[in-house]
Amino acid sequence: GENVEQHPSTLSVQEGDSAVIKCTYSDSASNYFPWYKQELGKRPQLIIDIRSNVGEKKDQRIAVTLNKTAKHFSLHITETQPEDSAVYFCAALNTGTASKLTFGTGTRLQVTL
Amino acid sequence: GAGVSQTPSNKVTEKGKYVELRCDPISGHTALYWYRQSLGQGPEFLIYFQGTGAADDSGLPNDRFFAVRPEGSVSTLKIQRTERGDSAVYLCASSSNRGTEGYTFGSGTRLTVV
């Protein structure tokens, strides 16, 4: 089955700096890669996703890149703000044969003033 | 409804007891998923329903866990003979397609087995 690894486990940046979180996946058939933000005690919320037919997607301060050959994808947050502090999870899915998301272990992002 | 609703939000039970966790998906979503999230970990897949049937139950850890969705809407996750290791947040999600359209999580049920 699919295996998703995520790094780093914790990340501290100063407000205004950029943050990058990286994930690798094992199943070359995976073709959908969402990112979730989870604040303490709350539900995971989808912030951005990318499909395997594109290499990059951007939504305001958030961008995701995908390298299918290397089987890794990354989340980039620019101009970080204190409200970006949360745990971020990457996930992978093969939409052709499965419906279960396989999640990474999460990255706790702390944006300091 | 406006979102995925899960009840109860918190459940404390004694070891060996039976518990039921309820999920009310977004209206019209045919796909429903249960995940389990332990502290400091990502959600782990348990079971997926398409309509009334369990299309994939490969994530259920053992036969103490069972889930139903009799009318293709509300789902109940049932845990028999609970163990302390079952303590976790149980998340439900629903989508209108196979995991790529509007995949939305509920707030979860925090289960504590004492």
- Using a CB-CB distance cutoff of 8 angstroms, which residues of chain B are in contact with residue A104? 42
Higher model confidence: residue B98 or residue A56? Answer: A56
- Using a CB-CB distance cutoff of 8 angstroms, which residues of chain A are in contact with residue B44? 103
What's the confidence (pLDDT) of residue A58? 96
Higher model confidence: residue B39 or residue A97? Answer: B39
Q: Which residues contact B114 (CB under 8 A, 6 or more apart)?
A: B12, B13, B14, B15, B84
Residues of chain A with pLDDT > 70, as a percent, come to 100
Q: Is A103 in the B-facing interface, judged by CB distances under 8 Å?
A: yes
Render pLDDT for B50-106 as a digit per residue (tens, 0 to 9). 999 998 999 999 999 999 999 999 999 999 999 999 999 999 999 887 666 668 999
What's the confidence (pLDDT) of residue A70? 95
- Whether the per-residue pLDDT at A95 is higher than 70: the answer is yes
Least Cα distance to B113 among B46, B58, B36 occurs for B36
> Who among A6, A100, A105 is closest to B56 (CB)?
A100
* Contact assessment for residue B11 and residue B20, using Cβ atoms and an 8 Å cutoff: no
Q: Which two tokens stand for residue B94?
A: 């629903």
CA distance B66 to chain A (A): 17
* Contact assessment for residue B27 and residue B48, using Cβ atoms and an 8 Å cutoff: no
Higher model confidence: residue B101 or residue A14? Answer: A14
- Whether the per-residue pLDDT at B1 is higher than 80: the answer is no
Least Cα distance to A4 among B58, B44, B88 occurs for B44
Render pLDDT for B17-57 as a digit per residue (tens, 0 to 9). 999 999 999 998 999 999 999 988 999 999 999 999 998 99
What's the confidence (pLDDT) of residue B20? 98
Q: What is the mean pLDDT of residues A33-51?
A: 94
Lowest mean pLDDT among A71-85, B79-93, B100-114: B100-114
What's the confidence (pLDDT) of residue B47? 96
What's the confidence (pLDDT) of residue A99? 77
Q: What is the mean pLDDT of residues A47-68?
A: 94
